[in-house]
Amino acid sequence: MFDNIYLKNFLLNKKKFNKNHKKTKYILKSLLQSIENSDEFFIQSLSNSYSFNFNTKMIKNFSKYKNIVIIGMGGSILGTKSIYHFLKKKIKKEIFFFDNLDESLHLKLNKIKKLNRACVIIVSKSGDTLETISNFNIIFSKKLSKNNLVFITEIKDSALIHIASKLDAEIIEHKKFIGGRFSVLSEVGMFPAALMGLKVDRFRNFEKIIKNKNFISSLTKSVAGIFTLYQQGKKNSVIFNYDTKLNDFSLWYQQLVAESLGKKGKGITPILSYGPKDHHSLLQLYLDGPKDKFFTFFKVLEKNSKYKISNKFNFNEINYLNNKSIKSIIDTQSKSVMNIFKLKNIPFREIIFKKNTEEEIGNFFIFFILETILLSSLMNVNPFDQPAVEDVKIETRKNLR
């Protein structure tokens, strides 16, 4: 279990790495002890012992809807999108996400058949997220029924609480101690997952994997390696994704790293890159530009490939592609990049998703959440706030009044 993270060239300075590795293991031990002593720590939501604020009856009631509309921003929706697109083959319903303010909103709405018969989930921890309220206002104007609305938000004085109360709609509490970008395995991601027909209990295996030696070894070595590279001036983290199923997972990871670590002049800049497309735009920079980056390759292991190349025109120039699947070509391209990275001593790690299950993506959510928290301790920043963003929100409200 958990033998799918491979560090390559991450140990460029072994002395610093060993020192950071020892410190990381100590921080992790302290973190696990603090979890045992607190009932209100967001990591509780990563465990199956965490009790949801929704029940089987509620799931059954809203599962009758064939279409699900989810409205949210950032951490309120990115985790759910990650789950949907990674496990889409298992999901029979159509899910529509509204996660930005966009003039083309009506085009997406036109794709939803019988909008008034769709389950609409509105997610905002604060209950005052400007974009979420705006999108809901526009969508609700399409004559939605209040009976198919679910609000996931903190129970406090807020715009969404007032709206939900006025409509007598269903409210699921977003726990105060669970931040948005850490909320994927709480009600925020698990209620929609349950409506998608997925096995919610399989996502959250904190107690099991925290005892797994491979998991702990991969986690602590990744953290120590990243922090050592950070100390050496490599402060740009490129997520090189080679499977479209992981596009939204990459976006979730990007937000987690950027918002959690970007404080006090410190931070790691997460850059999303997509292979093999970016071989023809950014790869030259990665190979021959500034040596201020480290890389994470995301790949999905799949045996079956729908499309293969055939040389029906009998061109000798492309004989080497004959009978090659699209998947095998992409895998060869990514391996070729990694081989050149090795030659050029460019630090990278390869992360392979092998099983395509609820358990696997849940384990990776937990892995990256813990990785980010451990990095925040090493960098001496608070991973749970975002004070600079709050300044922009206040300024925007002031200018809109």
pLDDT in tens, 207-262: 999 999 999 999 999 999 999 999 999 999 999 999 999 999 999 999 999 999 99
Band the pLDDT of 4: cuts 50, 70, 90.
confident
* CATH 3.40.50.10490 is the classification of domain 5-31+204-379: yes
pLDDT over threshold 90, residue 306: no
What phi, psi does 151 have (nearest 5°)? Answer: -105, 130
Paired with 94 in beta bridges are 67
Instruction: Give start-end residues of each CATH 3.40.50.10490 domain in the chain.
Output: 5-31+204-379, 51-203
CATH second-level architecture of 51-203?
3-Layer(aba) Sandwich (3.40)
- pTM attached to this predicted model: 0.94
CB hemisphere CA count around 194 (13 angstroms):
22
393 is catalytic: yes
Both tokens assigned to 126? 């604060």
Sheet containing strand 67-71, edge to edge, reads: 94-98, 67-71, 119-123, 149-153, 170-173
pLDDT of residue 40: 59
Q: What do you get for the CA distance between the two ends of the chain, in Å? A: 54
Look at the alpha carbons of 394, 396, 398, 401 in this order and tell me if their dihedral is positive or negative.
negative
Cβ partners under 8 Å of residue 4, min gap 6:
351, 352, 353, 354
Q: What is the pLDDT of residues 260-288, one digit of tens each?
A: 999 999 999 999 999 999 999 999 999 99
pLDDT of residue 147: 83
Both tokens assigned to 371? 């990785």
Q: At what angle do helices 247-261 and 358-379 cross, to 10 degrees?
A: 20
Sheet containing strand 269-274, edge to edge, reads: 5-8, 348-353, 293-300, 236-241, 269-274
Burial of 390 (0-12, 13-18, 19+ CB in 10 A): exposed
Average pLDDT value for the chain: 92
DSSP H helices, 52-186, are: 56-62, 78-86, 105-110, 130-140, 159-167
User: Percent of the chain at pLDDT above 70?
Assistant: 96
Tell me which of 16, 19, 90, 393 is the catalytic residue. 393
Average pLDDT over residues 95-111: 88
Query: Closest Cα partner for 370 from 178, 238, 222, 208?
Result: 222
Tell me which of 280, 306, 312, 398 is the catalytic residue. 280
Q: What is the pLDDT of residues 41-58, one digit of tens each?
A: 788 889 888 999 999 999
pLDDT over threshold 60, residue 86: yes
Distance from the Cα of residue 310 to its chain's centroid: 37
Count of Cβ atoms closer than 10 Å to residue 315 Cβ = 9
**Measured distance CA(68)–CA(97) in Å, rounded:** 9
Average pLDDT over residues 132-148: 86
Tell me which of 154, 187, 259, 350 is the catalytic residue. 259
Residue with tokens 């697109």: 85
Query: Closest Cα partner for 269 from 281, 260, 278, 282?
Result: 260
259 is catalytic: yes
Q: What is the pLDDT of residues 178-193, one digit of tens each?
A: 999 999 999 999 999 9
280 is catalytic: yes
Look at the alpha carbons of 231, 236, 240, 244 in this order and tell me if their dihedral is positive or negative.
positive
